[in-house]
Amino acid sequence: MARAPFQLGQHTIMPGQRLQVDVPVARLYTHTPLHIPVEVVHGRKDGPVMLVCGGIHGDEINGVEIVRRVLRSKAINSIRGTLIAVPVVNVFGFLQQTRYLPDRRDLNRCFPGSESGSLGGRVAALFREQIVDYATHIIDLHTGAIHRTNLPQIRAQLQPGSETERMANAFGAPVVLNAELREGSLRHYAQRRGIPVLTYEAGEALRFDEWAIAPGVRGVLRVMRRLGMLTGEQRRRTPAPAELANGSSWARAPIDGILRPKVRLGARVAKGEVLGKVADPFGNDEGEVRSVADGIVIGMSRLPLANEGEALFHIARFDEIEEAETAVESFNSSLVPPPDSFY
């Protein structure tokens, strides 16, 4: 029995077809139309409907490149099921190289949105109705905020034996953070509807970090393979199992000044260890930034200038810290360029 066509809005995609679709969002002041770009790959055989999206925050561009490379991968030529690929969701922010929408709202705090609400609410509602609600599985691609970088990691709400856990284990990131759902986020909306969703965090805003992009591409393809969407053998060796973090916290600047970090991204640290020092330009006043827990540095500031209380080092906590350290080291050893380029 032939597979049915896939309907996305007003567009019909036949089995075995790839189609690029422009979903209308709004018009600029100049009356120029603005669209969310989408590509649908509809396989000839039944399977999941996977949504892979980047750029919900307009300055987080690693995800844009991950989506592009996934679409160029030969592996998806014989896909089972359907791939919905959206490289840039927040086209407003992407054009302006900013995290936010023009009204300064965070699109990832606007779901499920409203057709009669703020600009953020309207964009969220359109993206949800036109794209998200068609998906059975979601991978949402992010980076650290401006001037912050993240170790490649998965954030998800995990239940033992759940589909979300299967996806997280398949992805191959060194760290999985069992993160609470944030009201208004895409992950919150999807999970509440029973759609398993992963958030991949890696690298820095407004940068192409190859050490974050390449593992992201491999991770998306691994998840698709685990779900039965891709056939054939995996060419690369199976990654070491990810380590589950049971929580995380930030070490903050004790005073205003200039930061000189003592540790790098991915380092194992002990509670009370000096992670860096903050001093005024003359060095007269100096304060130590100390770790608030035993753990692994999964995020850190890239900007040396710090205000008192500013979050500088993100520390993930683990029940088995040695295993977590091994997982990160194994991941780092597989990267090109080498891990020293993390900072």
What pTM did the predictor assign? 0.94
What does the pLDDT look like over 24-37, one tens digit per residue? 998 888 888 999 99
In the chain, pLDDT over 90 holds for what percent of residues?
Answer: 82
What does the pLDDT look like over 162-214, one tens digit per residue? 999 999 999 999 999 998 899 999 999 999 999 999 999 999 999 999 999 99
The whole-number pLDDT of residue 9 equals: 86
The whole-number pLDDT of residue 339 equals: 47
The whole-number pLDDT of residue 281 equals: 92
Residue 340 pLDDT more than 60?
Answer: no
What does the pLDDT look like over 281-339, one tens digit per residue? 998 899 999 999 999 999 999 999 999 999 999 999 998 888 888 888 888 877 755 54
Which CATH code for domain 6-243?
A: 3.40.630.10
Least confident interval from 60-64, 147-151, 242-246, 273-277: 242-246
How far is Cα 112 from Cα 234, in angstroms, rounded to an integer? 36
Helix, strand, or coil here: 46? strand
pLDDT band of 235, cuts 50, 70, 90: low
How far is Cα 45 from Cα 81, in angstroms, rounded to an integer? 6
Q: Dihedrals φ, ψ of 325, to 5°?
A: -60, -40
315 within 8 A of 296, measured Cβ to Cβ: yes
95 within 8 A of 30, measured Cβ to Cβ: no
Q: Which residues have a Cβ under 8 Å from the Cβ of 10 and sit 6 or more positions away?
A: none
Q: Which residue has the higher pLDDT, 13 or 246?
A: 13
Residue 231 pLDDT more than 90?
Answer: no
CATH number for the 247-321 domain, one of 3.40.190.170, 2.30.40.10, 2.40.110.10, 2.40.50.100?
A: 2.40.50.100
The whole-number pLDDT of residue 175 equals: 94
Decide if 6-243 and 247-321 have a common fold.
no
What does the pLDDT look like over 217-226, one tens digit per residue? 999 999 999 9
Residue 343 pLDDT more than 50?
Answer: no
Instruction: Kindly report the average pLDDT of the chain as a whole number.
Output: 93
Amino acid code (one letter) for 265: L
Which tokens sit at 105? Answer: 């709202």
The whole-number pLDDT of residue 341 equals: 44
The whole-number pLDDT of residue 336 equals: 57
Instruction: List, in sequence order, every residue forming a beta bridge with 244; answer none if it has no partner.
Output: 176
The whole-number pLDDT of residue 237 equals: 67
Domain ranges of the chain: 6-243, 247-321
